[in-house]
Amino acid sequence: MVIGGAEDRLQDRVILRRFIELSGGMEARILVLGAASADPDASWLGYEPVFQELGATNCRPLFIRTQEDANHPDIVNQILSAGGIFMSGGDQRRLMGLLWETEAARAMHTAFHLQGCCIGGTSAGAAVMSRLMLAEGSTPRLPEKDAASLDIGLGFVSGAIIDQHFSERRRLGRLLSVLAQRPDMLGIGIDEDTALVIERSRSIEVIGKGAVTLIDGRSMTSNIADIQAAERLELLGVRLHLLPSGYRYSVIAAEQGARRMPASLLDAVELLVAPGPLRG
């Protein structure tokens, strides 16, 4: 579950309710990882009462403050026994600095790929879901060369680059800019209080109050090799799909309730739901 940030914690709480459901229900073991935050304790205190009010009786914090923590057997065992792991917002570079090449990251992949654990992330926790992570950058009105930089993420979504707070912070130009660097990837822009639910080998679904912008530049041509940093990009042949909340798109043609898709969107969804590699 990839969340664009600012998910509703006070009213209907549709996204967090679905996360609990996908994690195994009210009695599932759910871990909240606030390591992206500059104040992980405050991050946990912000989510603890919400999960309690929603009836999640076995929700606990997962405190990883150092790479030593991320390699500790107790942390690994907690991850391997979890039905759901929720990564809060903050700074995605901080989170990856703690998790990269650690036993905790390997355990998350084992839990996800082999044990059916639901991995959820909001804001920075969403950015790290991709293998190529949007690390930082400006938000140009029009796409520019080198407007943003990429780094290594956790890789649960292996074929796409994710941006969050998408419509609210007008990040279309930024996402197009990074796709010019990596036209082999999809771009996913997720609005606030909106989540993209990816069910491996099956479907994607948009829930919440906004939309998901899906950009496919795999047939695109650009002038990126011919211009200097900060100069305007020419992008030809870009495909853009706007997926509003409340719709489900399945690669299984007979699935009840799924939307009919043009071939171009079906091709993109097939890439999104394809299982990525287990990183051991």
Backbone angle region of 54, left / alpha / beta, with phi > 0 → left and psi within -120 to 50 → alpha? alpha
Structural contact between residues 98 and 127, judged by C-beta atoms closer than 8 angstroms: no
Apex 31 CA angle, 69 and 51, nearest 5: 140
8 A C-beta contact, residue 46 and residue 79? no
Active site residue 123: yes
Which position among 7, 37, 130, 192 bears the catalytic label?
192
C-alpha distance from residue 24 to each of 18, 19, 118, 252 (Å): 10, 9, 9, 24
Distance CA 273, CA 180 (A): 23
Q: What is the DSSP letter of 157?
A: B
Question: Is 241 annotated in the active site?
Answer: no
Type of residue found at 142: L
List the catalytic residue out of 43, 88, 109, 165. Answer: 165
| Helix and strand element counts for the chain (H, E) | 9, 16
30-33 and 59-61 strand pairing: parallel
Is the CA virtual torsion 37, 39, 45, 46 positive or negative?
negative
Query: DSSP character for 71?
Result: T
H or E element, residue 113:
helix 103-115
CA gap 198, 119 in Å, rounded: 10
Phi, psi at 49, each rounded to 5°: -65, -30
Q: Catalytic pick from 123, 158, 177, 222?
A: 123
Catalytic residues: 123, 165, 192
